Amino acid sequence: MGYLSPPPSPQPVVVYKDVGGLVSDYEARTEDYRRENREVRLHECRSACTLALSLPNVCVYPDAKLKFHQAYNELTREADLGVSARLFDSYPAAVRDRLGYLTRQYKVLSGVELIALGVRDCARGDRVMVAAKKPPAPPPAPTASPIPSPNPLREIAQNVQVAVANALARPADAPAGSTTIAITDRNPVPPALARLAGDAEARAGRIAELIPLPPRRPDMSFMSAEASFAQSSRLIAGAQPILDASRFAPAVYSPRADVEPSKDEKFGG
């Protein structure tokens, strides 16, 4: 397909081999492509065909070949410097710097060179469309939970709690009213806490003194055994006796029950 015979719009124009022609014809077709924003893909392009490099939507294949030379009068075969200047000025700045100037002899730039100068790569666009999908990324590795930083306020509260418990604790063999304060190298008890524990112990002692003791039981030693039994076996009002008291006799304790009875006591004499 040549540069001057494009397919129906909006299909891209693929130039397989174009040897050039009248610059005016190529200038007119180039403006049509520019207006339509047509894509032009170049394989081999010579002479006036190189005007395609002025299009914003042009690309070259890596194996492409573009050949540049001065324009000349078809009748006189003399170089036309004005038209040649229009051709040269239409090229991208990097291409102009690489060419330097135009001569009657061809200057050839490959597709690889043009791509290196900033012209879009047609093959790269094709490869992007058929590129295989990337495999899904593996899930991120689980991260270890961060170790919580120590809380200075909690540590202080724990130290105070231990100190108070040690201050209020008292061994079983300690005398009543005494205060035992446990002091360790790790959790020393401040003097203020020690005084607080002592005050609490003293208040507990004073409270115990204010509580009255239960009344003493009456002394029943002066009563006889029968009277003591009768006194102790009285029924509570409304209660019913469990055993018949007439069938039982009170036992009298003898202070010398452990002494061997005499002969007269044995035989009732």
List the structure tokens of 233: 């076996």
Domain identity same for 80 and 167: no
**Does 190 fall in a domain?**
yes
Give the pLDDT band of residue 74 (cuts 50, 70, 90): confident
**Does 233 fall in a domain?**
no
The yes-or-no verdict on residue 249 having pLDDT over 80 is: no
**Does 98 fall in a domain?**
yes
Residue 242 φ/ψ region, left for φ over 0, alpha for ψ in the -120 to 50 degree band, beta for the rest: alpha
Q: Which residue, among 17, 20, 58, 18, has the nearest Cα to 40 in the 3D structure? A: 58
Give the best-scoring range by mean pLDDT among 201-205, 226-230, 241-245: 201-205
The range of the structural domain enclosing residue 34 comes to: 13-130
Q: What is the pLDDT of residues 7-55, one digit of tens each?
A: 998 999 999 999 999 999 999 999 999 999 999 999 999 999 999 999 9
The answer to whether the CB of 33 falls within 8 A of the CB of 61 is: no
Residue with token string 């290196």: 116
Domain identity same for 202 and 104: no
pLDDT given for residue 2 in this prediction: 87
**Number of domains making up the chain:** 2
Q: What is the pLDDT of residues 90-149, one digit of tens each?
A: 999 999 999 999 999 999 999 999 999 999 999 986 443 333 344 556 666 666 555 555
Domain identity same for 113 and 60: yes
Write the DSSP string, 231-258.
HHTPPPTT---SS-GGG--PPPPPTTTT
Per DSSP, 104 falls in state S
pLDDT given for residue 28 in this prediction: 95
- CA dist 29 and 45 (Å) reads 15
Q: Count H helices and E strands in the chain, helices first.
A: 9, 5
